[in-house]
Amino acid sequence: MKKGFLSTLMLAAVGFSANAQVPRMPFIEHFTQASCAPCASQNPALKVTLDNFGTANYVKVTHQTSWPGTDPMNTEYAAGPNDRRIYYGVTSVPDASLNGGTTDAPNTAVTTAKLNTVAGQTTPYEMELSQTWISLDTLKVDLVIRNTTAAAVAVADRLHLSMVENFIGFSSAPGSNGETEFYYVQRNMYNIATGASSTAGLTIGAIPANDSLTYSLTLTSLPTYIRDKSEISFAAYLQNQSTKAVHQAAKSMAGGIPGYLTVAATSASIASTDLCDANFTPAVNFANNGADPITSVDVQYTINGGTPVTQTYTPMTPIMQGQSASINFAAIVLPLGSSAVNYEVTDVNAGGLYAKSAVIIPTENYAKISATAVAAPLTEGFETSTLLAGTGYVTEFNQGIFITNGLTSNVFSGLDGTNYGYGAIGGFGRTNRSIRFRSYNIGSGNIGYVMMNKVDLTNNSEVTFDYAYSGYAGTDGAAIPAGGDKLDIEVSTDCGQTWSSSLWSRQGAGLQTTPSLSTTYTPADGDSSQWMTAVVDLSAYDNTNEVSVRLKFTSAYGNNIFVDNISIAQSLVGSTTAITPATANMTILPNPVSNYMTVQFTMEEMTEANVAIFNTLGQQVQQVANRTFEGQNNLNVNTTELASGVYFLNITSEKGTSTKRFVVEK
């Protein structure tokens, strides 16, 4: 199920002893995933709620699940998230539970009011959890559980201990939903009595009146996948295994590692917003937030994963606590197309240890086109573009650029259908490649662009493209609404500094070319019936130089949009008077055609006309007839010499031209 969430949260009603004295700590278990689109849209609101409630006032464990897509944190540690998912019966993400209550959408399960309600309850259990770094590789965890009442208590029979990484940051999204920041991610679960990794926890019995349980665990072998040891902390919670109610929780404080430096770094690069200006100056701001002086910093950057450019910065005087420095590289010119710039601090103080999470610099993405315009026509079918290594994705193409706004290539790029078993998914099923904007997996509001190179226009200009879209009908199969995923055409005459209002716009049901689905949409292999061609009038820009056209894709978390065969050229359609109406009375059968077709059209009066076939570049490729026509006409046309592709049949007289598009499939 794509969008369904579980039922509304019902907090488990738990009876406590009349003389319970200890406030109950709110405990949140959050189920999410790095490739889950609704997770990306809902998780930020949950973080705001918890930040406002106060970090010290709750305990949280985040379970990165194995579905719906790629998530390296789950790959590194899957046992704990999977066990807790099964325990609660979680079937979709995002999901959450508050103190063991029934799971629900995060911002339904966890609200300020519900957090306050839990914090206002009391429990007989008091917990103290602490951690101490003995050395860089040795960590000691201490836990005390007290019964604060005058009677034995046994309402909680299971003790769980989770190692969490308070913050994990990525320079670029590790999954497909665009998220780069993750909080309180569970990295392991332990039996605190034995030290063994265990999702089952420790079974505990009754605690006598005013008595306590004490545990101490020393870890000398930490998981190798921990990204930043300074972010490690622990969460302990007491749960009734049957009712699932969590009666108390506690957490330890991260940090305190001997010899760790406290530093931070952010990018400070200088780049023009002009998409035709590729001048670029890489730079990083580095700060010392700790007490130890910084005497050297090694920083490097890469562009599109190429050879690193490294600089060792040695200040004239040490960088003291609270001070910062700007580390500048030599100015360069970015390559045409898309550029992903990654920075990395590779060393501080010649081998000094430092907190990696504070120097994770997000990837900077730039897209540049040539400053020189080309003459129309400009066409792009994506078939000759180089695939991204190890994938079936096209991220660079000949006649323009993708502007992804952080969307990863598996959700917005050119797609080669043969690489993934889809077959011929190009326009009208003729070729293997097309653009895919994966709204089915992208949260609402995400926008991506395909911007064509600058072109000098002549007369009767237009942009044409093929598109396919089904819409998302939901599990009930209902028709999609008018609102929804959207595709627009916009124009700029200053290389993207400003853009026109939409010259062509289709949204939701208005964009639909094939019946809606409750599953992800991909055009059927070789099926021409699912495609339509858009023709957008650019005559307002006739005889204008340096015109840029872009396609704007907007997600409403619906279904996937496919686009192919983008062409900016002089229109083949002129005024029409003798042929009426311009295209409605002209029919081509069959269409698509293989070797032979029949053209039917009507002339109101005796007219001398030329009938010819043109390709998408406006070049005549076949003469059909040149004679006088009157009334109803039927022409048999041999197309055996035409290669597979899109063509236009023109009927031209001194009064005007009528055009009909057709497809040849061999």
Please tell me whether residues 300 and 410 are part of one structural domain: no
Positions of the chain with pLDDT under 50: 1-18, 477, 573-584
pTM of the model: 0.70
**What pLDDT, on the 0 to 100 scale, is given for residue 385?**
92
The pLDDT tens digits for 288-298 are 998 899 999 99
Q: Using the 3D structure, point to which of 343, 368, 393 is the last residue of a domain.
A: 368
**What pLDDT, on the 0 to 100 scale, is given for residue 666?**
79
Residue 112: strand, helix, or coil:
helix
Residue 354: strand, helix, or coil:
strand
Answer yes or no: is 341 within a domain: yes
Please tell me whether residues 275 and 233 are part of one structural domain: no
Tell me which amino acid residue 380 is: E
**What pLDDT, on the 0 to 100 scale, is given for residue 97?**
98
Please tell me whether residues 100 and 193 are part of one structural domain: yes
Domain that holds residue 318: 260-368
CA 146 to chain centre: 46
- H helix count then E strand count, the chain: 5, 44
Please tell me whether residues 244 and 267 are part of one structural domain: no
The pLDDT tens digits for 95-114 are 999 999 999 999 999 999 99
User: What's the CA gap between 387 and 25, in Å, rounded?
Assistant: 52
**What pLDDT, on the 0 to 100 scale, is given for residue 478?**
52
HEC states along 250-285?
Answer: EECCCCCCCCEECEEEEECCEECCCCCCCEEECEEE
Domains in the chain: how many in total? 4
Positive or negative, the CA dihedral 614, 619, 623, 629 is positive
Please tell me whether residues 319 and 437 are part of one structural domain: no
Answer yes or no: is 40 within a domain: yes
CA 212 to chain centre: 48
Q: Using the 3D structure, point to which of 319, 346, 368 is the last residue of a domain.
A: 368
Please tell me whether residues 282 and 315 are part of one structural domain: yes
**What pLDDT, on the 0 to 100 scale, is given for residue 578?**
36
Answer yes or no: is 582 within a domain: no
Answer yes or no: is 1 within a domain: no
Answer yes or no: is 577 within a domain: no
User: Which CATH number characterizes residue 645's domain?
Assistant: 2.60.40.3880
User: Which CATH number characterizes residue 289's domain?
Assistant: 2.60.40.10
